[in-house]
Amino acid sequence: MIKKAIKKIKGFCSIRNLKGIYFYIKPYKFRTLAAVLVTIPVGIMDTAIPWALKCYMDAVTSGKRSTISVYMPFLILVFSIAQSIFTYVATYVNSWVGIKISNDLKYDLFKKLMKCEASFFDRNVSGTIQVRFNNDVDTACAGLLNSLKMFSTRIFNSLSLIIALFVISWRLAIVAIVILIFALYPLTTIRKRISGIVGQTVFSGAAIATYYIEAFAGNRIITSYNLYDYQMRKISDALNYAFRLGMKMVQRTGVLSPIMHFVIGGGVAVIIWMGSYLITHNLLTAGGFVAFVTSVIMLYQPIKTIGNDFSAVQTSVMAMERVLSLLKETPAVINRKNAIQLTSVKDQIEYRNVDFEYEKGQPVLKKINISIKVGQTIALVGNSGGGKTTFVNLLPRFYDITAGKILIDGVDIRDLELDSLREKIAIVFQDNFLFTGTIRENILLGKSSASRKEINEVVKLAYLDEFVSKLPKGLHTQIGERGVLLSGGQKQRVAIARAFLKNAPVVILDEATSALDNTSEAIVQKAINNLMKDRTVFVIAHRLSTVRNADKILVINQGEITEAGTHAELIEKNDAYATLYRTQLS
């Protein structure tokens, strides 16, 4: 029993960050304490049963019907009622604390998720995020609290039963304890045996969750490419893998219960054999013997099932470790100490000797040098994969550069307070994410405090007014998940309206019109022209007609600026840009 306790405590201590767990228990420490304290009577009261049996048996066998044997049934009844009430209270308080802690953890993890940098989302699939941020917390908290309750109930239960054993017969008690230690020995190896599998199981769970998410998000592609069989094969492979892992887990843990069962069965046999000897030599009464065997059986009961419980506890401890390590991870892109608030962009934005790589050793941008005066429009053109999107993503610090500097009015953007930096930049992507809700709600994301007048104005500037006025519910029309109920051009104009409302001095337009037909493009282009007015703009476009009027055009190929100048200058130069332009014109 003691070894069990040590083993259990070791299990918890091996969590590198015990402090991490305590941090979450702390706000509820009194309730947690209460939850543990109620388990004391629950555990101790079990001893009443062998004790009552002993008195009763001794009274009956000696022929003396003492008063106690008359009241015994009532006493047992009262005890079990009291025990039931305590059990209920223990479960209630435990669940209360458990759910609270789990919610706190989820809240913090979500906060963490919101602060994760772009590369985190590059590295992790959606299923992993769901499993690690949501399911793991459930596993961790449910298991943790449950095992805390189980553990404390059983420790008090076992301690009181062990004391009872020694009171009844110390000789038998020693034998029983020795057998117990043998039965518990296999448990000490379990953690090592299963830790690898638990990790793999989490990954396989994440893979399965991802397939579900993809089935939802990618359903159009799946239908149009007839990917039904392909997807079914993927999920079936994943499920088979999960099955094999599950069975491996059973192989490694499933033997424990039978082994312990065997050892304990043998132990009970030895005790009965010894007990008979003690009785015949008048070293033990019949009642004492019955009470002893009952105590031993009661003591072994939790231990017999502990093989199963233990792998559950281990699973939850490991989940807790993953959760805590996730919480400890510091995102790569964070505020520096004493970060400066960016209040306005007055003079210029400069890329100075900027190098960038997503993966170590694979440069994506090389020695980028360019400066942009406030109010200018810079166009980026070039081959696909050349690094245009990467170029603009560095400005709001989705990623931090590998070498060089990006300066706004002479200040390194890594010295600027992140929120204040991002506040100054409005981005319209090619594929804009819209949230489930109404058109109005999506536009308001640009500035939640906007007045009705402001909203109407941006709706007009984004050329949304005509479309919206035709809708029976107008701006309050639901747009479906990710805006599926809108056309591509409508979605882009909602995104443009959102960017308008943000009213940021710097605007980034990444292929904002490339997916549109000519009529829609003309409208969206007009909206974009409005958005570009009096702002510093970075515009990426494949269609060179949209970049003609830019103050400077950069041709980016394979991570390098190969040409730079105005439209006229680059045509004059008669190099790559000029060739590209002529091809598009014809």
Ligand X SMILES: Nc1ncnc2c1ncn2[C@@H]1O[C@H](COP(=O)(O)OP(=O)(O)OP(=O)(O)O)[C@@H](O)[C@H]1O
358 binds ligand X (CB under 6 A): yes
Cα–Cα distances in angstroms (integers) from residue 524 to residues 257, 302, 407, 467, 481, in the given order:
68, 70, 31, 13, 22
Nearest distance in Å: CB 389, Mg ion: 3
* Crossing angle for the helix pair 67-115 and 136-168, to the nearest 10 degrees: 150
Nearest distance in Å: CB 234, Mg ion: 28
Listed ranges 386-394, 463-471, 501-509, 569-577: which one lies at the site for ligand X (CB under 6 A): 386-394
Q: Which of 41, 267, 287, 386 binds ligand X (CB under 6 A)?
A: 386
Nearest distance in Å: CB 30, Mg ion: 55
Which residues inside 38-97 make contact with ligand X, applying CB under 6 A?
Answer: none
Q: Which of 61, 70, 122, 353 binds ligand X (CB under 6 A)?
A: 122
Give the number of other Cβ atoms within 10 Å of residue 460's Cβ: 16
Give the number of other Cβ atoms within 10 Å of residue 243's Cβ: 11
Residue 275 interacts with, from Mg ion, ligand X, none (CB under 5-8 Å by kind):
none
Q: Which residue has the CB atom at the shortest distance from Mg ion?
A: 389
480 binds ligand X (CB under 6 A): no
Size of the site for Mg ion (CB under 5 A): 1
Helix (H, G, I), strand (E, B) or coil at 346: coil
Nearest distance in Å: CB 473, ligand X: 36
Could you tell me which residues come within 8 angstroms of residue 187 by beta carbon, excluding any fewer than 6 positions away? 4, 7, 256, 306, 307, 310
Which residues inside 376-395 make contact with Mg ion, applying CB under 5 A?
Answer: 389
- CA–CA distance, 363 with 96 (Å, rounded to integer): 52
- CA–CA distance, 27 with 459 (Å, rounded to integer): 47
Sheet holding 363-373, edge to edge: 363-373, 348-357, 403-408, 411-412
Sheet holding 552-557, edge to edge: 425-428, 506-510, 536-540, 377-381, 552-557, 560-565
466 binds ligand X (CB under 6 A): no
- CA–CA distance, 165 with 146 (Å, rounded to integer): 27
Which residues inside 422-461 make contact with ligand X, applying CB under 6 A?
Answer: none
Which residues inside 360-379 make contact with ligand X, applying CB under 6 A?
Answer: 364
158 binds ligand X (CB under 6 A): no
Strand partners, 352: 405
Q: Which residues of 112-149 are buried (b: 16+ CB within 10 A; e: fewer)?
A: beeebbbbbeeebbebbbbbbbebbbbbbbbbbbbbbb
Q: Which residue's CB is nearer to Mg ion, number 278 or number 509?
A: 509
Q: Where are the beta strands (DSSP E) in 466-527?
A: 506-510
| Residue 176 near residue 272 (C-beta atoms within 8 A) | no
Which residues inside 387-416 make contact with ligand X, applying CB under 6 A?
Answer: 387-390
For the chain, the maximum distance between any two Cα atoms, rounded to a whole number of angstroms, is 122
Q: Which of 27, 385, 410, 480 binds ligand X (CB under 6 A)?
A: 385
Q: How far does CA 119 lie from the centroid of its chain?
A: 16
Nearest distance in Å: CB 390, ligand X: 3
Q: Which residue's CB is nearer to Mg ion, number 294 or number 389?
A: 389
Q: Which residue's CB is nearer to ligand X, number 28 or number 356?
A: 356
Residue 390 interacts with, from Mg ion, ligand X, none (CB under 5-8 Å by kind):
ligand X
Nearest distance in Å: CB 445, ligand X: 24
Nearest distance in Å: CB 384, ligand X: 3
Listed ranges 171-179, 384-392, 472-480, 531-539: which one lies at the site for ligand X (CB under 6 A): 384-392
Nearest distance in Å: CB 25, Mg ion: 47
Residues at the contact surface with ligand X, assessed by CB under 6 A? 122, 358, 364, 384-390
Residues at the contact surface with Mg ion, assessed by CB under 5 A? 389
